């Protein structure tokens, strides 16, 4: 069985940062990702990032991903395995991976340290006919149009006016697709005003205290009924409106994709500020199990910039725990921690900071 110093699961910004940082400490590394290409969420982000770091603000996510992929291809001590899903980590230290055509090949590898950077999955919403074809997660709509140039539908109802709902609405318009309306259950728009005003200027209505009640259609979405709601989130009878759409795009939040951490036996906690169950960790991203580290959205839903810095911290410290110290270990570790503090030093991040405090071992 092949052994590695470090295996990184997930090739989004967090995993890429973890792998490149650990590689610079001379660890030999396997990076496993189940997508068709590396980059995670970044490869679909065509907008200029709102990232607060001096390094990345103003760059399109897709370009950040390409820079990383370029860097990684020059590091000879990182092996890359795409289209491969890590499925379990067992008491004897074996990680199982499903590879090949529809995962019909099982392989086993042994890491001395494991870094889990599996990101997040999109939340579902309950409404009548929510399983009809034409109901998409916002991430899927982005993948179709921004990565593959495929039009998911002609007329869209966007559900959720957070940053993701607003940004994806704008991207739909750029692709020449009609957005009929954006509905938001809360009394106010959650995303940044820059994004919201761009949408408003283009004449797309954003209805707050409003949600979708029912989708109609036989084999696929044909129309949707939206309805206003009161303070207790109950439908207000008589306020229903019907819109003719063929696509529903759900942007109602993300949850950490933490199955591997549960299965491996890490101590978990439900932390609403971090959007779900996360592994408890120390300040260097080590979980309750000495050989498992975490980074990125799986550690709490945040943003790409902080995911990358967490990845750097996890990579640096996982390597150090094997005696593979970066020549500037102390300075780098301090600098990364300082960067995280800086990133989280704003109003929006207050609840994240609170959540992280609760999640710290």
Partner 1 sequence: MRIQEHPILHFKPGKKVSFIFEGKKMEGYLDEPIAAALVAAGIKVLSYSRKLKRPRGFFCAIGNCSSCLMKVNGIPNVRTCITRLEEGMIIERQC
Ligand X SMILES: Cc1cc2nc3c(=O)[nH]c(=O)nc-3n(C[C@H](O)[C@H](O)[C@H](O)COP(=O)(O)OP(=O)(O)OC[C@H]3O[C@@H](n4cnc5c(N)ncnc54)[C@H](O)[C@@H]3O)c2cc1C
Nearer to ligand X, 9 or 158 (CB): 9
Q: Which of 85, 79, 78, 118 is nearest to 99 (CA)?
A: 85
CB of 321 to partner 1, least distance (A): 30
Nearer to partner 1, 28 or 130 (CB): 130
Between helix 193-201 and helix 163-174 the angle, nearest 10°, is 40
Which of 46, 306, 317, 333 forms a contact with partner 1 (CB under 8 A)? 46
Which among ligand X, partner 1, none contacts residue 70 (Cβ within 5 to 8 A by kind)?
none
Query: In the structure encoding, which two tokens stand for residue 176, read together?
Result: 């020449």
Query: In the structure encoding, which two tokens stand for residue 189, read together?
Result: 């728009």
**Dihedrals phi, psi of 342, to nearest 5 degrees:** -60, -45
Q: Which residue has 């890359």 as its token pair?
A: 80
Which of 59, 175, 185, 332 forms a contact with partner 1 (CB under 8 A)? 175
Which positions lie near ligand X, rule CB under 6 A? 9-15, 32-35, 40-42, 45, 49-51, 85-86, 117-120, 139, 142, 164, 167-168, 257, 260, 296-298, 302-305, 307
Nearer to ligand X, 164 or 252 (CB): 164
Region of 102-110, 201-209, 295-303, 313-321 interacting with partner 1 (CB under 8 A): 102-110
126 counts as binding partner 1 under rule CB under 8 A: no
140 counts as binding partner 1 under rule CB under 8 A: yes
Q: Give 49's DSSP letter.
A: P
CB of 311 to ligand X, least distance (A): 7
Question: What b-and-e string marks burial along 234-263, b requiring 16 or more CB atoms within 10 Å of the CB?
Answer: eeeeeeeeeeebbbbbbbbbbbbbbbbbee
Which among ligand X, partner 1, none contacts residue 107 (Cβ within 5 to 8 A by kind)?
none
H or E stretch at 173: helix 163-174
Cα maximum dimension of the chain: 68
């Amino acid at each position: 069985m092949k052994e590695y110093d470090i295996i990184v699961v997930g090739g989004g910004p967090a995993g890429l940062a973890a792998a490149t940082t650990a590689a610079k400490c001379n660890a030999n590394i396997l990076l496993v990702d189940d997508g068709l290409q590396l980059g995670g969420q970044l490869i679909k982000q065509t907008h200029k990032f709102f990232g607060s770091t001096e390094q990345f603000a103003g760059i399109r996510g897709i370009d950040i991903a390409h820079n990383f992929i370029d860097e990684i291809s020059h590091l000879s001590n990182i092996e890359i395995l795409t289209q491969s899903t890590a499925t379990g980590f067992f008491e004897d230290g074996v990680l199982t991976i499903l590879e090949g055509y529809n995962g019909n090949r099982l392989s086993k590898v042994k890491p001395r340290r494991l870094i889990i950077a599996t990101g997040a999955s999109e939340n579902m919403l309950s409404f009548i006919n929510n399983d009809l074809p034409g109901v998409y997660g916002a991430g899927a709509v982005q993948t179709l149009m921004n990565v593959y140039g495929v039009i998911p539908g002609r007329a869209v109802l966007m559900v959720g006016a957070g940053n993701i709902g607003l940004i994806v609405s704008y991207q739909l318009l750029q692709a020449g697709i009609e957005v009929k309306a954006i509905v938001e259950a809360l009394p106010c728009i959650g995303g940044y005003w820059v994004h919201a005003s761009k949408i408003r200027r283009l004449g797309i209505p954003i209805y707050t205290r409003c949600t979708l009640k029912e989708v109609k259609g036989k084999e696929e979405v044909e129309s949707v009924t939206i309805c206003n709601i009161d303070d207790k989130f109950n439908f207000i009878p008589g306020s229903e409106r019907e819109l003719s759409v063929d696509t529903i795009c759900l942007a109602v939040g993300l949850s950490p994709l933490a199955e591997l951490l549960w299965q491996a036996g890490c101590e978990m906690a439900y932390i609403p500020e971090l959007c779900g169950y996360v592994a408890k960790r120390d300040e260097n991203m080590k979980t309750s199990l000495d050989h498992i580290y975490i980074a990125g959205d799986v550690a709490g839903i945040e943003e790409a910039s902080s995911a990358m810095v967490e990845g750097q911290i996890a990579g640096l410290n996982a390597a150090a725990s094997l005696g593979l110290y970066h020549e500037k270990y102390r300075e780098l570790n301090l600098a990364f921690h300082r960067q995280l503090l800086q990133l989280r030093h704003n109003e929006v991040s207050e609840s994240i900071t609170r959540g992280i405090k609760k999640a710290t071992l």
